[in-house]
Amino acid sequence: MSKPNVVLAYSGGLDTSYCVLYLQEQGYDVHAVHVNTGGFDNTEVIELEKRALSMGAITFKSINNEQEYYAKCLRYLLYGNILRNNTYPLSVSSERVFQSIAILEYCQEVGATHVAHGSTGAGNDQIRFDGAFESLASHITVITPIRDQQLSRQEEIDYINARGFKWTQEKADYSINQGLWGTSIGGKETLTSRDTLPEEAWLHNCKKEEPTEVEITFSKGQAIALDGHRYDTPVDLIKEFNKRGYAYAIGRDIHVGDTIIGIKGRVGFEAPAALMLIKAHELLEKHTLSKWQIHWKKQLSDWYGMFLHEGKYLEPVMRNIEGFLADSQDTVNGKVYVKLYPYRFELIGIDSKNDLMNSTFGQYGETNLAWTGEDAKGFTKIYSNADKIFYHVNEDKK
């Protein structure tokens, strides 16, 4: 009898490497699939393939999903200036649904009746993967060895090494997820509320000391050029901006937030391009959008980020919010000037034909050109009416 096929969402880390060995011992033909959302170059993908096949996977496939990931997700995170808890740019949480969809398509390709992933029972990813699988392909059986067996990292290492492979504890000290919008880093320090990640835990160390100014060109809310150089795709621009930011070790932080399962979580991340682009875009919007556009964008952006983080990308209301966010970007055009320093960046200013400060009506705190002093006095009197009436009726509240 032929063995049942299982498609394994494969990252090459400890958990999914354990899964390759375990699933084949349980009688499955393991098809390892890696969905690249921007964190791996060709050399790294080749190494992943070697590892998966050496451990017993019968096939390995890497699917590059960068362009779709940007078009269907990242551009809306940029339009919305979305930072979870005003800190985290959803570097990893935003990837999972797109990886899930690509994995399900591969299941159809190889005729798999089972799909597996290496999530634990204590994190968000289990919900994101399972939710997408359940919503789009409830007929496929989901297998989760790490979650079901409640394995410690040391138990996984011992299991792998007992089968003739060498996996050191040092290699397993930190859980790292790399992507186009940033890299997350979890370790023993992030399991505490007190400690921060040591220098050796970060993937990129500071290599440049001299400050550099960068000119970012935006067209309808999307970044299209750095220092006047236009890129073939926004993905290429993000990769280049990441390189520049990593050289200064920009974009490091630790996010503390509420997980889908109700406990607090803490994770480190490096996301230079995401943070610099979001803050530059936000500054440009301050100049080019109306007060009420900015106000309502904030409300909807917060909901969009929360739903995406909590695995609800497939909820239809997300398409409605995306429509609003995209429509708000018509006047978000111009250049933003950002200065890069070791470990930080500074927003310098903007230049835009849509800059609402470039009006002939007046300059804040200086001159009023479209109204008189008497106009201002009358406006202030009417503007204060509601408060004046309240305190006239309620003398004791004065």
pLDDT of residue 168: 76
End residue of a domain, out of 142, 167, 192: 167
Q: Which of 240-254, 324-338, 347-361 has the lowest mean pLDDT?
A: 347-361
**Pick from 54, 56, 51: which is nearest to 31 by CA?**
56
**Pick from 10, 199, 201, 182: which is nearest to 91 by CA?**
182
**Residue range 86-99: average pLDDT?**
95
Q: Are residues 193 and 241 in the same domain?
A: yes
**Pick from 276, 274, 275, 298: which is nearest to 286 by CA?**
298
Q: Is the pLDDT of residue 371 over 90?
A: no
**Pick from 268, 226, 227, 272: which is nearest to 245 by CA?**
272
Q: Could you tell me the pLDDT band of residue 1, with boundaries at 50, 70 and 90?
A: low
In a domain, 175, yes or no: no
Q: What is the CATH number of the domain that holds 158?
A: 3.40.50.620
Q: Which residues of 52-201 form beta strands (DSSP E)? A: 59-64, 114-116, 141-143, 175-179, 182-186
9-19 tens-digit pLDDT: 999 999 999 99
CB 397 within 8 A of CB 387: no
Q: Which residue has the tokens 């150089």?
A: 229
Please give the helix or strand (H or E) that residue 306 lies within, else none.
helix 291-309
What's the number of domains the chain is made of?
A: 3
First-to-last alpha carbon distance for the chain, in angstroms, is 87
Rounded to an integer, what distance in angstroms lies between the CA atom of residue 3 and that of residue 6? 9
Q: What is the CATH number of the domain that holds 342?
A: 3.90.1260.10
Beta bridge partners of 265: 257
Which positions ≥6 away from 159 have C-beta within 8 Å? 18, 21, 22, 151
Query: Which pairing describes strands 334-341 and 212-219: parallel, antiparallel, or unpaired?
Result: antiparallel
pLDDT of residue 169: 65
Q: Are residues 266 and 391 in the same domain?
A: no
For the entire predicted model, the pTM comes to 0.94
Q: Which residues constitute the domain of residue 386? A: 362-397
196-233 tens-digit pLDDT: 999 999 999 999 999 999 999 999 999 999 999 999 99
Q: Could you tell me the pLDDT band of residue 25, with boundaries at 50, 70 and 90?
A: very high
In a domain, 304, yes or no: no
Exposure letters 292-330 (e unless 16+ CB within 10 A, then b): ebeeebeebbeebbebbbbbbbeeeebeebbebbeebbe
CB 19 within 8 A of CB 8: yes
CB 78 within 8 A of CB 222: yes
- Per the model's pLDDT, the better-predicted residue between 252 and 40 turns out to be 252
Average pLDDT value for the chain: 94
In a domain, 18, yes or no: yes
- Per the model's pLDDT, the better-predicted residue between 371 and 315 turns out to be 315
Q: Are residues 337 and 248 in the same domain?
A: yes
Please give the helix or strand (H or E) that residue 218 lies within, else none.
strand 212-219
Q: Could you tell me the pLDDT band of residue 291, with boundaries at 50, 70 and 90?
A: very high
Residues in the chain: 398
pLDDT of residue 322: 98
37-78 tens-digit pLDDT: 998 899 999 999 999 999 999 999 999 999 999 999 999 999
Q: Could you tell me the pLDDT band of residue 297, with boundaries at 50, 70 and 90?
A: very high
pLDDT of residue 366: 72
Q: Which residues of 117-155 form beta strands (DSSP E)? A: 141-143
Q: Could you tell me the pLDDT band of residue 124, with boundaries at 50, 70 and 90?
A: very high
Q: Are residues 65 and 94 in the same domain?
A: yes
